[in-house]
C-alpha cells in the first residue's frame, strides 16, 4: 500500500502515469519526484512565468524567509443530530509544542477534523491526544531528516491513537463502540503532509493564472467499503460489505476506534500525501462529510470565494477585512450545509495562505 503518494500538480492532473517517490511508475497521476522541484520551479509551471515570491527555506539557519503566513478559521454546527460528534484541532503554531527544533524548520502547524460515529468519545479522544502523540514521536534532526521520517511518524501516530482509544474503550462497562474519521494536515515550513481515514475531506484552493480561475485540488481520497481494494482487505480479514457498508453497518472502511469491527477489516492505517504550497494557493479547507453531503468541492470553493470577494464585509477594530471575510465564509458555509438538510453535524476548518512578510 502506498502510504506516501504525492499529489499531482493541477496543471498535469490529466496525466495518468508518473514516477512515484522511488522513481517507479505507479499510475496515480503526475507526482513530484522524491527530491521535489523548488517552489520557484513549481510556481513557474503553474503560472507560466517566474514568480518573485521567495522559495520555501530548507537551508540550515534560514527560517526567516519564504514562509507563507497561515491563519485558521472554524465553524461547527450540530445540525439535525441530537449530539455534536465532531471534534477538531486548530494549531497555527505547533512549533511551541516541539522541543529542540532544528533551525532549518521555521514553522510547524497542525490542523485536523474528526467526525465521530456511534458517539462522540472517539472524536474527542482524538482531538485531545493526537497532537500529544505527534509531539512525542516527532522526528529529530534537520528538515531533510524530518521529511524522510514524517510519513512513518504520522502512520505511527494513527496506530498509537487507535491503540490507546481501544484500550480505554475496553475498560468501560459496557465497552465503548465509538469510531471516528480523521483528516490531519501537518504543515512543515511550506509543505503540507495530509493523513486521512474515512470520508472527511481536505481541499486546496489554487489559482490558475493562465485561466484566471481557482481550482479545487483534492488532498484526500475517501475510504469507502465499496472501493475494490478496501472491500478485498475487509473480505480477507473475514468481514463483508453489504449495501456499501462494513458488515452492513459502517459507511467507512478505515477509522480510529470501532473496536467490534477491527477483526473484520477495519483499518486505522491512514493514506499520507504531500503537497508543496505555491504562491498561487489561497486557502485549505478541511471538513467532515456533513458538508460534503451538501456541497461538491468545486461548489464549496465558489461559495467561499464569493464571500471573500464581498466588499460589504468590513474590518473591525481588532480584525482586518480579510480575517472577517474568512470567518464569515466559514460560518455561512456551515450554516448553508445545515439549511440544505445535510442531516449531519457540520464542521468547516479553513486555513488562509498569504505571502510571508
The DSSP 8-state label assigned to residue 97 in this structure reads G
* Cα Rg, the chain, nearest whole Å: 20
Q: Does residue 65 carry a pLDDT above 80?
A: no
**Could you tell me if 326 and 75 are in contact, meaning their C-beta atoms sit under 8 angstroms apart?**
no
Closest CA to 326 of 339, 310, 338, 340: 310
Distance CA 196, CA 17 (A): 23
Q: Mean pLDDT, to the nearest integer, of 77-85?
A: 91
Q: What is the DSSP string of 20-83?
A: -TTS-B-SS-----SSPPPHHHHHHHHHSS---SPPPP-STT--SSSPPEEEEEEEEE-TTSSS
Tell me which CATH homologous superfamily contains domain 54-353.
Answer: PPM-type phosphatase domain (3.60.40.10)
Q: Mean pLDDT, to the nearest integer, of 296-303?
A: 97
The grid coordinates of residue 148 equal: 524522510
Distance CA 21, CA 88 (A): 31
pLDDT of residue 9: 47
Give the pLDDT band of residue 4 (cuts 50, 70, 90): low
Sequence ranges of the domains in the chain: 54-353
pLDDT of residue 80: 85
CA 318 to chain centroid: 29
pLDDT of residue 79: 87
Q: Mean pLDDT, to the nearest integer, of 47-68?
A: 45
Q: Does residue 257 carry a pLDDT above 80?
A: yes
186, 286, 275, 321: CA torsion to nearest 10: -90
**Backbone dihedral region of 30: left (phi > 0), alpha (psi from -120 to 50 degrees) or beta?**
beta
Q: What is the DSSP string of 115-174?
A: EEESSSHHHHHHHHHHHHHHHHHPPPSSHHHHHHHHHHHHHHHHHHHHHHHHHHHHHSSS
pLDDT of residue 274: 97
pLDDT tens digits, residue range 145-190? 999 999 999 999 999 999 999 999 999 999 999 999 999 999 999 9
Instruction: Please identify which residue in the block is written with the cell numbers 449530539.
Output: 83
Give the neighbor-by-neighbor strand order of the sheet with 281-287. 69-77, 346-354, 281-287, 201-208, 213-218
Q: Mean pLDDT, to the nearest integer, of 290-294?
A: 95
Q: Does residue 335 carry a pLDDT above 80?
A: yes
pLDDT tens digits, residue range 171-181? 999 999 999 99
Distance CA 115, CA 135 (A): 22
Q: Does residue 191 carry a pLDDT above 80?
A: yes
Q: Does residue 35 carry a pLDDT above 70?
A: no
Handedness of CA 43, 48, 50, 51 (dihedral sign): negative
Calculate the average pLDDT of the chain.
85
Give the pLDDT band of residue 18 (cuts 50, 70, 90): very low
Distance CA 216, CA 17 (A): 21
Distance CA 241, CA 225 (A): 6
Give the pLDDT band of residue 3 (cuts 50, 70, 90): very low
pLDDT of residue 356: 82
Q: Mean pLDDT, to the nearest integer, of 212-238?
A: 94
Distance CA 190, CA 275 (A): 9
Amino acid at each position: 500500500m502506498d502510504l506516501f503518494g504525492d499529489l499531482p500538480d493541477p496543471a498535469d492532473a490529466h496525466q495518468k502515469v508518473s514516477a512515484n517517490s522511488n522513481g517507479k511508475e505507479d499510475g496515480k497521476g503526475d507526482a513530484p519526484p522524491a527530491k521535489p522541484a523548488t517552489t520557484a520551479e513549481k510556481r513557474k509551471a503553474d503560472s507560466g512565468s517566474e514568480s518573485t515570491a521567495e522559495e520555501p527555506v530548507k537551508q540550515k539557519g534560514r527560517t526567516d524567509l519564504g514562509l507563507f503566513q497561515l491563519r485558521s478559521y472554524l465553524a461547527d454546527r450540530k445540525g439535525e443530530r441530537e449530539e455534536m460528534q465532531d471534534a477538531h484541532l486548530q494549531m497555527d503554531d505547533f512549533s511551541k509544542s516541539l522541543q529542540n527544533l532544528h533551525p532549518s524548520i521555521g514553522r510547524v502547524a497542525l490542523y485536523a477534523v474528526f467526525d465521530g460515529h456511534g458517539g462522540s468519545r472517539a472524536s474527542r479522544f482524538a482531538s485531545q491526544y493526537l497532537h500529544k502523540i505527534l509531539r512525542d514521536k516527532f522526528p529529530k534532526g534537520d528538515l531533510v531528516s524530518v521529511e524522510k521520517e514524517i510519513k512513518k511518524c504520522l502512520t505511527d501516530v494513527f496506530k498509537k491513537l487507535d491503540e490507546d482509544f481501544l484500550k480505554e474503550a475496553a475498560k468501560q462497562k459496557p465497552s465503548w463502540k465509538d469510531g471516528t474519521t480523521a483528516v490531519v494536515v501537518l504543515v512543515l515550513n511550506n509543505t503540507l503532509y495530509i493523513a486521512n481515514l474515512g470520508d472527511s475531506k481536505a481541499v486546496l484552493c489554487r489559482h490558475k493564472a493562465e485561466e484566471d480561475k481557482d481550482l479545487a485540488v483534492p488532498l484526500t481520497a475517501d475510504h469507502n467499503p465499496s472501493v475494490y481494494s478496501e472491500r478485498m482487505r475487509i473480505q480477507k480479514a473475514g468481514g463483508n460489505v453489504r449495501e456499501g457498508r462494513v458488515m452492513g453497518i459502517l459507511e467507512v472502511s478505515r477509522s480510529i476506534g470501532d473496536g467490534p469491527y477491527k477483526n473484520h477489516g477495519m483499518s486505522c492505517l491512514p493514506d499520507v500525501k504531500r503537497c508543496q504550497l505555491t504562491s498561487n494557493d489561497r486557502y485549505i479547507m478541511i471538513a467532515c462529510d456533513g458538508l460534503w453531503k451538501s456541497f461538491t468541492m468545486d461548489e464549496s470553493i465558489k461559495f467561499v470565494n464569493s464571500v471573500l470577494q464581498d466588499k460589504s464585509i468590513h474590518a473591525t477594530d481588532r480584525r482586518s477585512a480579510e480575517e472577517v471575510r474568512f470567518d464569515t465564509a466559514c460560518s455561512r458555509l456551515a450554516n448553508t450545509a445545515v439549511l440544505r438538510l445535510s442531516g449531519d453535524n457540520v464542521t468547516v476548518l479553513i486555513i488562509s495562505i498569504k505571502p510571508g512578510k
